[in-house]
Amino acid sequence: MDYLSLIKSSISDELDGFIALFEKSLSHTDGLLQSALDHIKQRTGKRMRPMLILL
């Protein structure tokens, strides 16, 4: 198991809650804006700061 997986395992419930809220907050009815938001959601680096805060 790598270090990142080990860290994630200790905060997995909280991190899952954050990811659900993050994805819910990045949604819009406008197609063009939603396309841009989908691009942002695909970047998993946006989850590093929340992981550090949850620790």
What is the per-residue pLDDT for 17?
Answer: 93
What is the per-residue pLDDT for 52?
Answer: 84
Which residue is listed with tokens 């809650």? 17
Cβ neighbour number for residue 46 with a 10 Å cutoff: 13
pLDDT at residue 1 is higher than 70: no
The rounded distance, in Å, linking the Cα atoms of 8 and 2 is: 10
What is the per-residue pLDDT for 13?
Answer: 92
The rounded distance, in Å, linking the Cα atoms of 30 and 42 is: 18
Tens-digit pLDDT profile for residues 5-54: 888 888 999 989 988 998 888 888 888 999 998 888 887 776 788 888 88
Ranges of each domain in the chain? 3-54
What is the per-residue pLDDT for 54?
Answer: 86
Enter the pTM of the model: 0.65
Structure letter (DSSP) for residue 29? S
